């Protein structure tokens, strides 16, 4: 199994073997974290706003048992990233853990999934801009505004395969 790290630089999306991308800052079985800090590149190659400086999303660790039961665990890490065009403000990163189980018997399948297993408070979308909501000063409030991420979420269902 080859390891690739996907990095977005501006509008370009690069998928390359790990040694071609940058300095390794962490490694585990099937997982490599690459440092993409903006100061490691020339200023003209500074990441666009909201481009993660560190990103980790390996394939889930999955166990499949012969009698139709499978379970998997997944970690999703997104590091701090630049929130404005000048690099003065930072959008916070997050680490989420997800778990999934499936059981199939003949044509019937049931599943249960728990997303954000640790119930981490995280920010899904983050942008730096000046807001001008009612009750705020006339000049607005320049800040990193965000949409809160989902809390621990349970999903379940039953499927019929034809």
Q: Choose between 92 and 59: higher pLDDT.
A: 92
Mean pLDDT of the chain: 76
- Give residue limits of the domains in the chain: 49-160
pTM over 0.85: no
Q: Choose between 61 and 108: higher pLDDT.
A: 108
Say whether 20 sits in a helix, a strand or coil: helix
Where do we find the tokens 């500074």? Answer: 46
Q: For the segment 117-150, what is each residue's pLDDT rounded down to a tens digit? A: 999 999 999 999 999 989 999 899 999 999 999 9
Q: For the segment 43-56, what is each residue's pLDDT rounded down to a tens digit? A: 445 556 666 656 66
Longest dimension (CA), the chain: 65
The arithmetic mean of pLDDT across residues 62-76, rounded, is 91
Could you give the CA distance from residue 4 to residue 94 in angstroms, rounded to a whole number? 21
Could you give the CA distance from residue 82 to residue 84 in angstroms, rounded to a whole number? 6
Could you give the CA distance from residue 133 to residue 125 in angstroms, rounded to a whole number? 19
């Amino acid at each position: 199994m080859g390891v690739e790290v996907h990095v977005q630089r501006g509008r370009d999306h690069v998928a390359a073997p790990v040694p071609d991308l940058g300095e390794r800052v962490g490694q585990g079985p099937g997982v490599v974290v690459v440092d993409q800090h903006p100061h490691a590149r020339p200023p003209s190659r500074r990441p666009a706003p909201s481009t993660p400086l560190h990103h980790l999303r390996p394939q889930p660790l999955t166990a499949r048992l012969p009698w139709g039961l499978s379970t998997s665990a997944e970690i999703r890490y997104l590091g701090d990233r630049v929130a404005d065009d000048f690099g003065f403000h930072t959008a916070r990163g997050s680490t989420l853990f997800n778990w999934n189980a499936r059981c199939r018997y003949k044509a019937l399948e049931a599943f249960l999934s728990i997303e954000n297993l640790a119930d981490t408070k995280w920010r899904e979308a983050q942008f730096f801009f000046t807001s001008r909501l009612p009750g705020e000063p006339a000049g607005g409030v320049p800040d990193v505004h965000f949409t809160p991420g989902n809390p621990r979420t349970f999903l379940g269902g039953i499927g019929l395969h034809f």
